[in-house]
Amino acid sequence: MAWGISASLAAVLMACAEKSSDYFPGYAEAEYVRLASPIAGALVKLHVQRGDRVEADAPAFVLEQDSERAVREAAAARARTARAQLDNLLKGRRPDELAVIRQQLAQAEAALQLSSATLARQRQLVADKFVSPSTLDEARSAEVRDQARVQESRAQLRVARLGARSDEIDAAQQELKAAEAQLAQAEWQVAQKTQRMPAAGVVNDVLYREGEYVQAGSPIISLLPPQNIKARFFVPETAVGALRIGQEVQLQCDGCDAPIPARISFVSNAPEYTSPLIYSTENRAALVFMVEARPAVDDARRLHPGQPVEARLAAQGTR
Is 8 a domain residue? no
- pLDDT score for 11: 38
Q: CA–CA separation, 225 vs 229, rounded Å? A: 8
Q: CA–CA separation, 72 vs 281, rounded Å? A: 70
> Hey, what's the torsion of the CAs at 73, 74, 76, 81, to 10 degrees?
140
Domain co-membership, 88 together with 172: yes
Q: Listing from the earlier edge strand, what are the strands of the sheet with 33-35?
A: 33-35, 221-224, 201-206, 53-54
- pLDDT score for 317: 43
Q: CA–CA separation, 278 vs 203, rounded Å? A: 48
* CATH, residue 37: 2.40.50.100
Domain co-membership, 82 together with 142: yes
Residue 266 makes CB contacts below 8 A (sequence gap 6+) with 245, 290, 291, 292
- pLDDT score for 12: 35
Number of domains in the chain: 3
Domain co-membership, 94 together with 136: yes
pLDDT < 70 stretches in the chain: 1-21, 92-94, 96-97, 159-165, 273-286, 315-319
| Entry pTM | 0.64
Domain range for 76 is 71-187
Q: Is 127 exposed, middle or buried (0-12, 13-18, 19+ CB in 10 A)?
A: exposed
